[in-house]
Structure formats: structure tokens, C-alpha cells
Amino acid sequence: MILTVTLNTALDLTYRVPALRPHTSHRVTDLRERPGGKGLNVARVLAALGHEVTVTGFAGGPTGRVVQDLLTGTAGVRDALVPVAGATRRTVAVVDDRTGDTTQLNEPGPVIAPAEWSAFQEAYEELLGGADAVALCGSLPPGVPVGAYALLIRRARAAGVPVLLDTSGEPLRRGVAARPDIVKPNAEELAELTGSHEPPGAVQDARRRGAGSVVASLGPGGLIAATPEGRWRAVPPARIRGNPTGAGDSASAGLLSALVERLPWPERLTRALALSAATVPAPTAGEFDRAVYERLLGRITVTAEVAAA
């Protein structure tokens, strides 16, 4: 079983409009709702790949009940969300059909009480006992300590469970110092962590700060990775147009699934990048176009840039 942690779960709403223009009314041509938050997106992709997945984090209020109802209908995903008094947040993505661009509006999330945070930690400890790997993903809701991910990483390491971390800002900085097995930032998050806008050097720097391996998403530029076996770059054959929301989460799912399957790094990066690119033409985050994914598997270029990291 793979465990994904989403402390700031959400109900994701995706609106499509013919053209997004400020200061005007818009007619929505399509509306989709789904369980959201980075870890839930990762879980849905992992389940589509055939892995057994358990999701945990927080859920509360009417919005939280909708999220859990939607999870009930997701094959391969078990709901272990911890109830809270506050209401689960909503996120709204507005897709402009004319340009393909997406505008994202994210609510902050419910305030988590100390007793609720303690209840989550107890649930997490129990779930680790049956986990082959764990993904810690996304932002922290108000009330959760900024060092929460560092704490959860240390507990996973004590239980012998490998950890992937995908977050940003101070939670990322503290989490890296706790020595997760894989850190997956995007280019902006990597630059914020290291102070460098040169990804080859920045992934190396992030490893020196404590991460076992660092895999950075470079958008259309693919992935760059610093690992104990070497430094790698994975490049897609062409840019795919569509909505990139959730592409990074699909990359995390690819890395985590390949870790559990003990694949070598070139195959891990190929899977991660193919899933990421195949998410762009999909209707919403947490989904991928399987035909695009399978076509890309044989067309992605992975290059070893140095012999050892």
C-alpha cells in the first residue's frame, strides 16, 4: 500500500469558459468537481496505475463530505481522512478555451485545532505500519506547525518507510533537512529553497541540504534529477498543449510508483515525465490521457549528465 498525505485537502472545481476577460460576466461551458489537494491527485494517478492507495489528511464540513463521497467512487483508493470541525477548502480553476491558460483561486483551508493535529499524528503512525512508501504533498492549513512535514518524515524514516516530499516555502526547507528519500519541487520552489535559478546546480545544492534525491519539474523543459547514482535530465519529444494543473502531481505519482517497483532512475524519470505530460491534455488534475502516456514512454530522452551526484 502507498500512503498519500494531504493536510490541506480541497474540493477542486474546474470551470471552462470560451475566453476569460477581466471585469465581465462569463458563461461556463463545462464544470467538473473532484477530490483535490496535491496528495489526492497523486493518489488518483497511482490508483490508475494499479497501485493500492490510502489517503489521509483532514476533511470537514459540507465540502469535506463531498470530497469523501467522491473518494468513495474512486477505485483503488481507501479514505482514511481525519475529521475536523472546520470546513475543507475549495479551489477554483478557470480554463480559457481560447488560449488554454488556467487561472487558479485557492482558499486557505480550515484552522486545525491542536487536538485535531494530535489525532492526525496518531492515525498517521498507525497507517505507516502497512505502507510501502508515503507521499507528503501540498500546503499546510492554518494551525498546523510549519515543521509538520519534517516531523512526519522523521516518523516515516523511523518506521523504515521511504518518503517523497512535494511542498514549498518554509515547510519544504524544514522538510528537506529531515532527509526525505525524494524531494520534487518545481523550478520556482527549487530556486526559493536554494537561492539559485540554475537548476543543475540547484538540485545538487538541495541534495546537500539533506534530500536523498531531488527531482525538479522544469515545465516544458522536462525533469532534472540529482540522485545517489548520478545526475539526470529527462526531456519530452515535444510540448503538449492543454491545462498543466496537476502535471507535477502526476510526476510525483510516477516517481513514487517506480520507487516501490524498484525501477532504475532512467525508467523512473521516463514514467514520471510521461505521466506529467499526459496530464496536460486531461480534463482535470489527478487524471492522465493513457494513450498519450503510452506513446510518450518510448519517446522521452533521459541523459546521464554526470557519473555521480
Distance CA 204, CA 233 (A): 13
Beta-carbon count within 10 A of 83 CB:
13
Which helix or strand (DSSP H or E) is residue 235 part of? strand 230-235
Give the max Cα distance, the chain.
Answer: 56
Q: Sign (positive/negative) of CA torsion 136, 173, 181, 46? A: positive
> Is residue 203 classed as helix, strand or coil in its secondary structure?
helix
Q: Select from 220, 231, 151, 226 the least CA-distant residue to 193.
A: 226
Indicate which residue of 12, 79, 166, 249 is catalytic.
249
DSSP string computed for 26-84: ---SEEEEEEESHHHHHHHHHHHTT--EEEEEEE-HHHHHHHHHHHHTSTTEEE-PEE-
249 is catalytic: yes
Instruction: List, by residue number, the catalytic residues.
Output: 249
